[in-house]
Amino acid sequence: MFIEARAEDYESLLRELKKKQAASNVLRLRRRLQEIVEIDFFGSPLRSRVETALASLEPPSRALKPTAKHGKQEFVRRTWVTRPRPGIDRVSSAWLIRNHIDPEATFAFAKDVRQLPNAVPFDMFNVGGFTHQGDNCTFETLCAEFGINDRKIKVISEMIHDADLNDEKYGHAEALGLDRVLSGWAKQNVADEELLRRGMELIEGLYRGIK
């Protein structure tokens, strides 16, 4: 019964994708696909057909810059500082730093970066370092600045963007739940260091869960 119900959902979406005006409604159709996928507990074979049809309507995604502006050798065993009470953009950025930029990075929290003059700031206000640029969140900025082109990280960057900026640019809802979990822990007075550790574990699980 579940399979039949999801098949009807996917077939309905396929019919919408074949309409002339579908190209102008890609974001809405992608959100609808996400809603169906979340309740597709038995993996309907029609899902791949819908994903292929939807992908054919979307313009080529803007690739992350292939040439890094910064060499990783400049950032070895550094202390990286950010604001207290880390949310989805900062915990994911810390995960990216530890796993793809500076494997021996340590992290600190400060409201005023002058307290740690030798630290590398990320996602802090008006102090330089790595933060939002244009409509990119900090995670996206780090990917571009260090030329990180891993396919799964590109997907995660879109999820983090949508959760952090809440602009539905990419139509991904997966990281919204993670952000709410982080907010819940913060309300429970979980310490900054523990919030960061737990958040990084969430992102690691998300990375490994992407096919």
Task: Output the pTM of the full model.
Answer: 0.69
Residues sharing a CB contact under 8 Å with residue 190, sequence separation 6 or more, in sequence order: 198
Mean pLDDT of successive 10-residue stretches along the chain, which has 211 residues: 88 86 79 84 79 71 50 89 94 97 96 89 86 91 92 94 86 89 93 97 94 78
Residue 63: per-residue pLDDT: 40
- CA gyration radius for the chain? 19
The position carrying tokens 């993996």 is 43
Query: How many other C-beta atoms are found inside a 10 Å radius of the C-beta of residue 186?
Result: 16
Cβ atoms of 136 and 161 closer than 8 Å: yes
Q: What is the pLDDT of residue 171?
A: 84
Q: Which residue has the tokens 């739940």?
A: 177
CA distance 55 to 26: 9
Q: Token digits for 112?
A: 């005023």
